[in-house]
Amino acid sequence: MREGTKTGAGVDGLQHQDLTEIDRQLSNVLSPLWSLVFQNNLSLKNGDLIDGSVAANTFYFQPSLPIPVGENKDMVFIARPVFPLATSPILNLTSSDGVDGHVTGLGDIQLLSLIGPNRKEGVVWGLGATFKFPTASDPELGEGKYQAGPACLLSYLSKDWTVRINPQHWMSYAGDDDRQSTNQTEIAYSIHYHLPDGWSTGMAPTISIDWKAKSGDRLTLPIGMGLGKVFRMGDMPVKVRFEVHYSVIHPESFGSEWNFRLQIVPVISNPFR
């Protein structure tokens, strides 16, 4: 049998891999699996600036196409772009409820790059950089700044559990002079328990810190719970996951309190394996 079939590369390898094993690999940011992540986040936002709650929605497309590197392919490099299509409320303090409709369009594109060891179990680390680009089609949907900073990853992978923390930090260095400079941190963390037949439960929220905001508006700290399942559509494994997040701390002026996430992840063949 060819090596590619043993390791799960190509269509045949993906056909014969256990669904729970595919789910474990998808929970690993530095897994050699190629996947196309389609993720929709529906948020309910509130705060002192508006009367009641208002909905916002962001649809993300995140192709994850890692490349094994090194003499024995014992390392993995990943450069993962994030393309957001956002619908955001327009704040207007002169209106009765503080909101003047919504705007929809492209947001600021992000790019995460990491390199780390190619491992299926144990401790996995990654080091790299992260970037944001002022691609928003409307000022309400982006920050108007080129931003960059460090990124890292620390995961623990076992047969039953995947625990991960992935901090990213951005500071602006160029862009629209009329827009405020940025200094932000996001910490994506996840805890997943893998069940038989490709099922999993757990959470994967993102902590946000805006260091430029006043103290009461600086931190968003969500927790949550979700359920996921890997199944096959013909020869292609696909993961579907739904999560609900509640922010136990969120900005007092205006921020997300509830978030409802639907994620669909087709797995495709990696030609480099």
Residue type, 202: G
* φ and ψ of 36, to 5 deg: -120, 110
**Residue 9 contacts residue 273 (beta carbons within 8 Å):** yes
The span from the CA of 224 to the CA of 249, in Å, is: 13
Which amino acid type is present at position 123?
V
What is the model's pLDDT at position 13?
63
* Global confidence as pTM: 0.91
Q: Any residues with CB less than 8 A from the CB of 177 and at least 6 apart, and which?
A: none
What superfamily does domain 3-268 belong to in CATH?
monomeric porin ompg (2.40.160.40)
Where along the chain do its domains lie?
Answer: 3-268
- Structure confidence at residue 200 (pLDDT): 97
User: Mean pLDDT for each 10-residue chunk of the chain (273 residues)?
Assistant: 39 71 93 95 95 95 94 92 96 81 96 95 97 97 97 96 98 96 98 96 98 96 98 94 98 96 94 75
Question: Which residues make beta-bridge pairs with 175?
Answer: 145
Which sign, positive or negative, has the C-alpha torsion 240, 246, 248, 250? positive
Q: What is the pLDDT of residue 225?
A: 98
Check residue 72 and give its pLDDT. Answer: 85
For residue 273, the model assigns a pLDDT of 66
**Closest Cα to residue 198, out of 267, 245, 260, 261?**
267
Per-residue tokens: 263:
């994620």
Phi, psi of 139 (to 5 degrees): -55, -30
